[in-house]
Amino acid sequence: MKISEAQALAEILNRQHETLEEAEIAELEPRLADYARGAPWRDDDAARVWASPSARRAYLGARRAVLAELEMRWADRRFDRSFVRMAADDGDPDELVLGEAGVTVRIVRAPGSGDWLVSVALSPDALALIPAGTGVRIADSGGVTWLSGLPDRDGGVDAFWDRDESPMTRLRTHSLTLGFV
């Protein structure tokens, strides 16, 4: 059975013994909440979180809370998170633009090479909602990640399409969703 690097790391981390006392974890927790919101990490705290299953769980819980809050604020502003290619967009155009409210997904065939570029552009208002260190991911309803990364200062994230199937063909049967990582 072949396992991925992520699965191997998870297996190792799941077998770790606790290295911190409850008082040490309690002292660390307020900073973990700050880190979850994008504050820069202190080296000693990063090492303590890697070494402690309880500290990791506390950090991941704080991170999940930050992402849930972001999703609520995103919905309150009515920014797009779901993108569907309309039936009228049949064929295999060289460019397709999806979305309007706060987010634009652009799929473009590079002239000459035939390679596809997938881009997300966040409006300034949408970008302002995203905490430092929080990335965006576009995935389709079939589980394929189209792009994932930290937005640049202009709210952009770009990736090359790395699958054999054309993204335009895939969009005929799958919708796209924006998520936060």
Instruction: List pLDDT tens digits, range 71-101.
Output: 999 888 888 777 787 654 556 678 888 887 8
102 Cβ neighbours under 8 A, 6+ residues apart? 74, 77, 78, 79, 80, 122, 123, 125, 126
Report which DSSP code applies to 1. -
pLDDT beyond 60 at 31: yes
Cα dihedral angle (48, 52, 55, 57), rounded to 10 degrees? 140
Residue 97 forms beta bridges with which residues? 106
pLDDT at position 96, please? Answer: 83
Instruction: List pLDDT tens digits, range 44-75.
Output: 898 888 888 889 889 999 999 999 999 999 88
Please name which of 140, 124, 142, 121 lies closest in space to residue 179, comparing C-alpha atoms: 140
pTM of the model: 0.75
In the structure, what pLDDT confidence band is assigned to residue 152 with cuts at 50, 70 and 90?
Answer: very high
CA-CA distances (angstroms) from residue 98 to 133, 145, 173, 176? 25, 16, 15, 9
